Amino acid sequence: MRLLSCLLFVALVGKAAAGQIQVAVAANFAQPLRDVVRQYQTNYPDTRISLTVASTGKLAAQIRQGAPYDVFLAADSRRPRELAEEDIGLADTVRAYARGVLVLWSPQPDLDLTADSLRHGQIHPLAMANPRTAPYGLAARYVLDELNLPGSVVLVQAENVGQSYHFAHSGAAAAAFVAYSQVREQDGALWQIPQEQYPAIIQSAIQLSDNPDVSRFYQFLFSESAENIITSHGYRVPDAD
């Protein structure tokens, strides 16, 4: 009887675990992914999907240290590729899911956000994500280097684009470099930076665990239904470029 009870317990635990998916997602893509998950769960309501949101570099470091994520959606293509090269995750699942758009945004609608206003030091403090760990921060760094800002301009470094947005929204910065998806429906001033001024932000994913429930969800991320949600948030689909 005790053996039967133990086997039943293991079976129940295994069934519950099979319906749980842990997803690590770059901060810029958190809200689009929540909408994708919501759509997915209309068809698979018993699947529980938990999101961990942070910068791409921080999440990649956690994965290398053994964090139990099933799927990783990065804000670049480098980190998923590097993980695959290190035999972490399923190498043949590395795939681009979105192309990001960098913008400079301020909640102040009358602020003149242009290359000239930045070049002349008229807009500061400026918030940007850490370029060492956040791909949108790296893209912003390219833009700032090209503009050659005067030394009087104060830069506020955020951990990720979510925090960069918060700095501008709270007034801690006059404007912030963020993903277009974060502010596409926000009031304020916006400069959509020409894409030739920074390296293409190709966002890729990798499936980390070999599990049927995870595979089904991962495949859904590249479905037409998911792509419609992704483009509605201001991203481009890489294959469409």
Residue 34, Cβ density class (10 Å: 0-12 exposed, 13-18 middle, ≥19 buried)? middle
Residue 12 has pLDDT above 80, yes or no: no
Higher pLDDT, 10 or 169: 169
The tokens of 83 are what? 């993980």
Mean pLDDT, residues 6-26 taken together: 60
pLDDT value, residue 11? 38
Burial of 162 per CB tally in 10 Å (0-12, 13-18, 19+): buried
> Does the pLDDT at position 14 exceed 70?
no
Please indicate, yes or no, whether residues 160 and 47 belong to a single structural domain of this protein.
no
Peptide bond into 125 cis (omega under 30): yes
Do residues 33 and 20 share a domain? Answer: yes
With 80 as the cut, is the pLDDT of residue 161 above it? yes
Range of the domain at 157: 102-197
Q: pLDDT band for position 17 (50/70/90)?
A: low
Q: Bigger pLDDT: 78 or 3?
A: 78
**Residue 94 sits in the same domain as residue 159:** no
pLDDT value at 10 more than 60: no
In three-state form (DSSP H/G/I as H, E/B as E, the rest C), the secondary structure along 108-177 is: CCCCCCCHHHHHCCCCCCEEEECCCCCHHHHHHHHHHHHHCCCCCCCEEEECCHHHHHHHHHHCCCCEEE
Give the total number of structural domains in the chain.
2
Confidence of residue 238 (pLDDT cuts 50, 70, 90): confident
C-alpha distance from residue 144 to each of 84, 153, 197, 198 (Å): 32, 11, 10, 10
Kindly report, residue by residue over 113-151, the tens digit of the pLDDT. 999 999 999 999 999 999 998 999 999 999 999 999 999
- The helix/strand/coil state of 19 is coil
How would residue 237 be classed by pLDDT, with cut points 50, 70 and 90? confident
Same domain? 92 vs 208:
yes
For residues 6-29, average pLDDT: 64
Is pLDDT at 6 greater than 80 in this prediction? no
Spatial distance between the Cα atoms of 23 and 2, rounded to a whole number of angstroms: 36
What is the mean pLDDT of the segment spanning 203-220? 97
Regarding whether 42 and 151 lie in a shared domain, the answer is no
Does residue 216 sit in the same domain as residue 233? yes
- Whether residue 8 is found in the same domain as residue 61: yes
- One-letter amino acid for residue 58 of the chain: K
Question: Confidence class of residue 18 from pLDDT cuts 50, 70 and 90?
Answer: low
Same domain, 106 and 178: yes
Question: Which helix (DSSP H) or strand (DSSP E) does residue 21 occupy?
Answer: strand 20-26
The pTM score is 0.81
CATH for 182: 3.40.190.10
Question: Are 184 and 211 in a shared domain?
Answer: no
Is residue 3 predicted with pLDDT exceeding 80? no
Is 117 found in the same domain as 175? yes
Same domain, 190 and 208: no
**Average pLDDT over all residues of the chain:** 91
Instruction: Name the β-bridge partners of 157.
Output: 128
10 shares its domain with 95: yes
The model's confidence at residue 239, banded by pLDDT at 50, 70 and 90, is low
